[in-house]
């Protein structure tokens, strides 16, 4: 993760939406490389350039994002939040409401007292502390993170078990997007004959050698013919996220999944159909019993998983998921720049203004 961050910043790219679910293993081997995905909110920057769009995911936002004046240091903050989560299983800045999360981020008080922090090395805590410095000028750079003693001496560090509590907490994070994955499958099943035919035609056009699979060059060329200009780095990420094989190709099924990923936010009708699939009693809300019923064919139907999904998606904490919350879950953190920005802006601009009026932070700092 830290090498990726350093490489991005070295080439003038800011990710702006780093979170655990945006890192995937390339395969199931213990030695598998870790891949960063979802560069939809990324942006190029020049040294000293500042940005003011409120984008990203609430738990991982740096305080200067809420203040609408930030640079690439926000990625180091987000990576610091991920490191904190990996070491203890819960985010450092947490609350029941988004306003509470924002206030916790602004306060930037890091808790190193709760279990298992007493067993975590001082070097590890020092790195977390310096990555989560609320002052971006003091915060470590991506290169300084790589140079930190805790990472430099990683192979010599003792293997100290952090306990079952951390394992259980991390498991909850791994299931946060189960509902989203199930919804995408529903959308795929509801694609019209014309849409399916269009995907099939596109694949056959790209598969010039008629092998039943396409490589990166064929995908690039095919998308250009279809009028879609996607940056080279994003193309590689899309290939990997869709399940690229060892020979660097995608088969038809994987191409369909990739196409759905590219299209799924283009038509709200798809989201309404997916929502209706979960809203079995047509009440206009997805209730917890409906979640249990829909996910009972998955390996995720434990109460912990259901509770984690409900906690993540039910933002107003009324015990059920509205269409707006469902659509927000589907749109947030994807490569659909406009939808993600609009979702983040609508939710956090009001929050930032409210905090400013209450004196929680000063936008001129």
Residues 17, 75, 133, 207: which is the catalytic one? 17
Distance CA(214)–CA(255), nearest Å, equals 9
Whether 111 is catalytic is no
Answer yes or no: are the C-beta atoms of 241 and 36 closer than 8 Å: no
Answer yes or no: are the C-beta atoms of 240 and 24 closer than 8 Å: yes
Cβ partners under 8 Å of residue 273, min gap 6: 186, 187, 190
Helix intervals (H) in 175-251: 178-189, 193-206, 216-225, 232-242
DSSP-derived 3-state class of residue 189: helix
Backbone angles phi, psi at 25, to 5 degrees: -80, 140
DSSP character for 33?
P
The DSSP bridge partners found for residue 24 are 35
Distance CA(288)–CA(320), nearest Å, equals 7
Residues forming the active site: 17
């Amino acid at each position: 993760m830290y090498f990726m961050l350093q490489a991005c910043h070295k080439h003038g790219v800011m990710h702006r939406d780093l979170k655990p679910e945006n890192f995937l293993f390339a395969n199931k081997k213990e030695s598998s490389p870790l891949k960063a995905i979802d560069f939809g909110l990324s942006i190029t920057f020049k040294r000293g350039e500042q940005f003011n769009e409120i984008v990203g995911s609430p738990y991982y936002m740096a305080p200067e994002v809420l203040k609408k004046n930030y640079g690439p240091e926000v990625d180091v903050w987000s990576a610091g939040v991920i490191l904190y989560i990996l070491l203890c299983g819960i985010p450092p800045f947490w609350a029941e409401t988004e306003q509470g999360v924002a206030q916790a981020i602004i306060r930037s008080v890091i808790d190193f007292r709760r279990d298992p922090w007493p067993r975590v090395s001082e070097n590890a805590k020092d790195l977390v502390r310096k990555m989560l410095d609320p002052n971006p000028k003091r915060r470590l750079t991506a290169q300084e993170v790589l140079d930190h003693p805790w990472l430099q001496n990683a192979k010599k560090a003792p293997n100290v078990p952090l306990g079952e509590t951390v394992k259980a907490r991390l498991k909850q994070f791994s299931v946060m997007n189960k509902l989203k994955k199930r919804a995408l499958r529903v959308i795929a099943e509801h694609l019209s004959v014309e849409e399916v035919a269009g995907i099939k035609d596109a694949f056959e056009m790209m598969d010039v050698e008629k092998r039943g699979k396409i490589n990166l060059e064929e995908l690039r060329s095919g998308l250009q013919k279809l009028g879609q200009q996607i940056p080279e780095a994003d193309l590689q990420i899309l290939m990997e996220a869709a399940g690229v094989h060892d020979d660097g190709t995608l088969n038809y099924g994987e191409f369909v999944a990739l196409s759905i990923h590219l299209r799924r936010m283009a038509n709200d009708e798809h989201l309404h159909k997916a929502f209706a699939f979960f809203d079995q009693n047509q009440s206009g809300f997805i209730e917890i019993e409906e979640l249990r019923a829909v996910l009972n064919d998955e390996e995720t139907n434990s109460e912990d998983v259901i509770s984690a999904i409900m906690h993540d998606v039910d933002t107003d904490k009324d015990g059920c998921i509205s269409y707006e919350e469902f659509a927000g879950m589907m749109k947030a953190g994807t490569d659909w720049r406009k939808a993600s920005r609009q979702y983040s802006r609508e939710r956090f601009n009001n929050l930032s203004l409210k905090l400013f009026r209450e004196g929680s932070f000063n936008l001129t700092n």
